[in-house]
Structure 1
Amino acid sequence: MKNTVQDEKIKNEETEFVKESHDPKQEYIFQKSGITKKGFFIIIAFLVVLVVALVASGVVF
């Protein structure tokens, strides 16, 4: 006897990483838009500052 459980809430697992602005799909992680690009660069800048501060604190102590 084979016991399997299927989750009915998950319809489509075809999630893509980046959505083009002209594409009408629903399953995506990031949309290729100006705010996504700005947010990406803000996060990268914050991480760079964090790494520089970590290295500087290691040099001082």
Structure 2
Amino acid sequence: MKGKKQSEENTELVKEKDNPKRNYIFKKNGATKTGFTVILIILIIVAIGVLLSGLVLETSFSF
């Protein structure tokens, strides 16, 4: 096993429907789109929460 090289990886980001490729991260289907939307909404809510908490804490400590 010492001299054996690892084959080159050719991973793609999105798998198209008609492409039989096995190395991909996301599949182009409804579940991926729904998951992306849910994660995006959660990140936006977290960002808004961080901004609002910063504003509230900043105004409550001003003496």
TM-score when normalising by structure 2: 0.78
Bigger helix fraction: 2
% identical aligned pairs: 39
Residue 28 of structure 2 is aligned to residue 32 of structure 1: yes
Structure number with greater Rg is 2
Instruction: Specify the alignment match of 1:50 in structure 2.
Output: 46
CA RMSD of aligned residues (A): 1.8
Runs of at least 5 residues in structure 2 that lack an aligned partner in the other structure: 58-63
TM-score when normalising by structure 1: 0.80
- The aligned length equals 56
Moved over 4 A (4+): 4-7
